[in-house]
Amino acid sequence: MLKRFTVSNFKNFKDEISLDFSKIGEYSFNADCLSMRLIYGRNATGKTNFGRALLDIKSLLCGMQSSGLINEDGAAKFKYEFKFGNDEVVYKYSRFANTELCDEELYINGEAIIKCDFKNSKFDFQGLSIISAETVNTNRYVNKDEMDNEYVLPFLRWLINNTAFSDDSVLIQLFEYVRKMDMITVGNDLLYSNRNFLENLKNPVYLHNFEDFLNLMGIECKLVLQELPDGQVELYFSQNKLVPFYSTASSGPLALTSLYQKIVSNLSLIYLDDFAAFYHYEMAEKLICYFKDKYPECQFIMTSHNTNLMTNKIVRPDCLFILSSRGTLTALCDATERELREGHNLEKMYISGEFEKYE
């Protein structure tokens, strides 16, 4: 799991900003939301940019397209701290706006595995013996003439792709975790059906689960999937007659569908941007409870303006954060001199200005 993420010089985050999953308050209620973080903040404070920064590691290690939001006046610095079983992993790097790497370092249980200074062409691979990778021919990576400039790739990515690690290797666990990270903007494709999703619904179990999901969210319906003459399939509401789902459903069910088809896979961390923008507060509460019940092993980071969710009924003060225009991220339990308790009305305190100096 991700323990802590830190970034600086990325878009509006000139100074260092961190999100720490391991910092837990002394609360005995809602322990099932400790893998969740709900971030509030005024418009243009950088909630979307923070998600893009967090997912930068996926573009680096998995070859995904980079966001390209690094400031031009220096390198952006990224630091990821993970915990896999008893192993503590720290991976940090910095890169310039043109995606060129400046440096890269990997530590496992406090011991340096690799240190790469690309700017000065200095490399330290002495720690590879700790992960039984001392026989890897690092000269193939460093020698740009032999590797046709492949040295510009992150060494960790090159190492994983060119070494036969066992499935329980901490590096494989790290790579699999990063590969399963995702950022989702809720409802940005409401009007479009997803053909892969519809094909999956051919499985009666998948269709039944999706129907149950909608009903659980308060949308009472019966769904039918039919094959069209051209071989494609279409989803319908089953009422007195079949009614096309995508052309008749309102924005709420469509937003739920958009979200459901994106999180149905086995993800490790989901950054839900603008969460609850299309949902009534009761439905948003049901979604959070659904995430806690169905995806207990997945870490969720959600951004929202919906203050109805700022309640100890479903979350707790150490899982609610305020992102300020100054680029600081503060948990509600650290944003007041009061000792926040289960009986406090967090939404009322927020609206009345209790945490205003942290906005």
pLDDT digits (tens, 9 = 90+) for 301-323: 999 999 999 999 999 999 999 99
Per-residue exposure over 149-176, b if at least 16 CB sit within 10 Å of its own CB, e if not: eebebbbbbbbbeebebeeebbbebbbe
Does residue 42 surpass a pLDDT of 80? yes
Q: Quick one: average pLDDT of 35-41?
A: 97
Distance CA(71)–CA(220), nearest Å, equals 48
pTM given for the model = 0.93
In whole numbers, what is the pLDDT of the chain averaged over residues?
92
- Cα dihedral 195, 197, 203, 208 sign: negative
Closest to 7 measured CA to CA, from 16, 329, 37: 16
Higher pLDDT, 74 or 102: 102
Does residue 149 surpass a pLDDT of 70? no
